[in-house]
Amino acid sequence: MQKPPTLDHTRQQITHLDKELLGLLAKRRALSLDVARSKEVDIRPIRDTQREKELLERLVQQGREQGLDAHYVISLYQSIIEDSVLNQQAYLQTKANIHTQQAQYSVAYLGARGSYSYLAANRYCDRRQVEMVDFGCQSFNDIIHAVESGHADYGFLPIENTSSGSINEVYDVLQHTSLSIVGETTIEVGHCLLAAAGSDINKITKIYAHPQPISQCSRYLSQHSDIKLEYCSSSAEAMDKVLNSKSQAVAAIGSAEGGALYNLTAIDNDLANQKINQSRFIVVARKAVEVPSQLPAKTTLIMATGHKPGALVEALLVLKTHNVNMSKLESRPIAGTPWEEMFYLDIDGNLANENVQKAINELEKQTRFIKVLGCYPCETVKPTQLSQSQLFIEPDSSKAVDSPSLVTQTPSQSSQHAKHRREFKAQNSIMHLHNMTMGGQAFNAIKQVALTDSVTEIAAIAKHAKESGFEALVLTNSNLLINEQLVKEAVKAINAAGLGSCLTVEHIIELNIAAKLADGLIINGSAMFDDNLLHQAGGLSLPVLIERHVNATTEQWMAAAETILSTGNQQVGLIDAGIKSLNEGQQLSLDIAGLIDVKQRCHLPVIVNLTRTATETSLPQQAIVIKQLALSGIIIDTQEETQTDILQRVLFQ
Ligand SMILES: O=C(O)C(=O)C[C@]1(C(=O)O)C=C[C@@H](O)C=C1
């Protein structure tokens, strides 16, 4: 066998090649700025997805010729294009706002050098080729004050995280500031365990961290429950404490990049519960900015609607009328006025656009309070994807039933005269599941639990749920073909606790067994396109709820209900468990616009399952929104013991 080259030699070659690659990337970046300059003159949008598709298709082909896998090539180029788009946006945004053209930005952020806020601010300034003068603060209020008083030009505030949800305190400080939101930026939050060199996890007895990372790494921390936790005001403070302790027995949670500033080593990586852990920051300044028309813009506003039922729905319908998409909705209590909420809305659109202006003017007439917090470039760059055929991958025909694109609707299903439409029946439909009335004016709270081997355990869960005000229990993962007897006993225990029972089904064979056992059935989203199953469910005489497929349109969802109604069964309801969104990972998004639309056009009860759309912190707020939309109820997991005041109030007042 021929002797391979020495490791050192090969590594030298790789190092050399990597340097060349970086040089090429820098050249590409410079060219993309030239593109931005021409787009500035021609007034063309930054994003050209057609060009991106052609580029990716060609690269996949060229990559394949060199033995490179298509997915590898695509993911590399998606990040290169994201960088190109964000750089072009930063360039045009600065050009359009002369007052932002400075050599230095003084930036107020939480903590000290090395904190995630510091890293986000640094990234923001780097992209604008501006030197950052850092102004570390102890609290969000201090950040606002530093900018309001002119001590800093910009303030960085973390607004949401993919694992722990929205950051309520930031929403609260925004209610009272005179500052404007002028930008946003999202950073990858790679939580590591940082300690002095030579330490390892077995030596650690205490961890310092900010409450946010602690909540985002709860799973990792529960595996090391013997280690003491000490809360800090920022990740930077945590790292500083470890550095000053000069001990190998203490550690901090923070980024590897931040840790390096404190001479700390990452002794463990990827601590966050979710694989993709990102934080979005908003940038605030004294003067609002204008966003050039070539850039995708976001406008954030806050409003307080009247106290009457349906006030939020009416306000949101204004956005629909003017074709304005809402990408985020949050609510926070108004200090001093108990039971009232301030709503925070992110809308996709430029404040200078006529439709956005008209919608805001109309909202001003409907609401008790409304204020635009700012209009700024949207930094979410949705990656361009290639279709299966462009990737030369054969579609998996066995999954045909899961794929909405393969389903054709008959015209009668989408007709306005269909049985599910308000044109057919104006009032909300009502159905009965055990003692629970669903639909009409009712708002039901339902719990969801996975079947366990122990009926005693299910009985205890049901009893607790009943005491807490829930009306039904959904059993998931029941695998009826194997567990029929167990499910029978579990249903008996649920009914004995005074709750209705619901079983989730995916296949016809399960449907018939489930119909004999439970008070109601849920057709799993993955089976929503199975016409045979829907027809079979149409022949039953017990309540059937259809879960929306994560990729299904509202029309397809209602068409599934129509199939059941037109086969005979009139006890039909809809469950939305969230749809696929731009968020990475397992988290799904609430399709608020879709829910409003369905509620307007369809008389069937609509329940929302929040198990995959809400985090522990966002759960009460999502529940408030569902109730405000006058939908028929929510389903939450038994794992979610978020019995906060708000949730209790929403569900049971
Ligand atoms: O070609 C353009 O128009 C560019 O802006 C460059 C580029 C790229 O980096 O390749 C970036 C964004 C566009 O969506 C398409 C391509």
User: What CATH number is associated with residue 584?
Assistant: 3.20.20.70
Calculate mean pLDDT across residues 103-109.
97
pLDDT tens string 147-159: 999 999 999 999 9
Is the residue at 480 inside a domain?
Answer: yes
When mean pLDDT is compared across 219-228, 392-401, 524-533, 621-630, the lowest value belongs to 392-401
Whether the per-residue pLDDT at 393 is higher than 60: the answer is no
Specify the pLDDT at position 586: 67
Calculate mean pLDDT across residues 183-209.
95
Task: Read off the pLDDT band of 392 (50, 70, 90).
Answer: low
Residues 77, 206 within the same domain = no
Specify the pLDDT at position 653: 60
Residues 221, 74 within the same domain = no
Q: Which residue has the tokens 């990475």?
A: 584
Give the end of a domain, one of 65, 96, 127: 96
Whether the per-residue pLDDT at 262 is higher than 60: the answer is yes
| Segment 477-485 long-range contacts (CB within 8 Å, at least 24 positions apart) | 477/450, 477/451, 478/451, 478/503, 478/504, 479/451, 480/505, 480/510, 480/513, 480/514, 480/517, 481/509, 481/510, 481/513, 483/451, 484/513, 484/517
Specify the pLDDT at position 3: 87
Specify the pLDDT at position 54: 94
Residue 68 maps to which CATH number?
A: 1.20.59.10
When mean pLDDT is compared across 117-121, 307-311, 326-330, 626-630, the lowest value belongs to 307-311
Whether the per-residue pLDDT at 642 is higher than 70: the answer is no
- Give pTM, 2 decimals: 0.63
CA distance 536 to 250: 61
CA of 81 to the centre of ligand 1 (A): 7
Residues 104, 78 within the same domain = no
Residues 566, 554 within the same domain = yes
Residue 104 maps to which CATH number?
A: 3.40.190.10
Is the residue at 348 inside a domain?
Answer: no
Specify the pLDDT at position 300: 97
Residues 149, 78 within the same domain = no
Give the end of a domain, one of 289, 323, 339: 289
Residues 73, 141 within the same domain = no
Residues 228, 161 within the same domain = no
Task: Read off the pLDDT band of 240 (50, 70, 90).
Answer: very high
Whether the per-residue pLDDT at 394 is higher than 50: the answer is no
pLDDT tens string 28-50: 999 999 999 999 999 999 999 99
Residues 235, 124 within the same domain = no
Is the residue at 374 inside a domain?
Answer: no
Task: Read off the pLDDT band of 305 (50, 70, 90).
Answer: confident
CA distance 302 to 194: 39
Is the residue at 175 inside a domain?
Answer: yes
Mutate to test the pocket of ligand 1, among 46, 50, 73, 76 (most ligand atoms within 8 A of CB): 46
Ligand 1 atom closest to residue 52's alpha carbon, by position in its atom list? 15
Is the residue at 638 inside a domain?
Answer: yes
Is the residue at 483 inside a domain?
Answer: yes
381 lines ligand 1 (CB under 6 A): no
Mutate to test the pocket of ligand 1, among 25, 47, 49, 51 (most ligand atoms within 8 A of CB): 51
Whether the per-residue pLDDT at 340 is higher than 80: the answer is no
Whether the per-residue pLDDT at 562 is higher than 50: the answer is yes
Whether the per-residue pLDDT at 439 is higher than 60: the answer is yes
Specify the pLDDT at position 652: 62
89 lines ligand 1 (CB under 6 A): no
Ligand 1 atom closest to residue 51's alpha carbon, by position in its atom list? 15
Residues in contact with 653: Cβ distance below 8 Å, sequence separation at least 6, in sequence order? none
37 lines ligand 1 (CB under 6 A): no
CA dihedral 430, 434, 435, 441 (to 10 degrees): -20
Task: Read off the pLDDT band of 362 (50, 70, 90).
Answer: very high
ipTM value greater than 0.95: yes
Structural domain that includes position 421: 409-652
32 lines ligand 1 (CB under 6 A): yes
Whether the per-residue pLDDT at 73 is higher than 90: the answer is yes
Whether the per-residue pLDDT at 144 is higher than 50: the answer is yes
pLDDT tens string 457-468: 999 999 988 888
CA distance 223 to 607: 35
Residues 583, 486 within the same domain = yes
Residues 49, 123 within the same domain = no
What percent of the chain stands above pLDDT 90? 60
Task: Read off the pLDDT band of 647 (50, 70, 90).
Answer: low
Is the residue at 369 inside a domain?
Answer: no
Task: Read off the pLDDT band of 402 (50, 70, 90).
Answer: very low
DSSP3 helix / strand / coil % (the chain, rounded to 5): 40, 25, 35
Is the residue at 361 inside a domain?
Answer: no
pLDDT tens string 496-515: 999 999 999 988 888 888 88
Environment class of 207 (CB within 10 Å of its CB; exposed 0-12, middle 13-18, buried 19+): buried
Q: In this structure, are strands 180-188 and 154-161 parallel, antiparallel, or unpaired?
A: unpaired
Ligand 1 atom closest to residue 44's alpha carbon, by position in its atom list? 3
Residues 164, 243 within the same domain = no
Residue 523 falls in which region: left (phi positive, over 0), alpha (psi -120 to 50) or beta? beta
Whether the per-residue pLDDT at 355 is higher than 90: the answer is yes
Whether the per-residue pLDDT at 358 is higher than 60: the answer is yes
Residues 91, 103 within the same domain = no
Whether the per-residue pLDDT at 413 is higher than 60: the answer is no
**Number of domains making up the chain:** 4
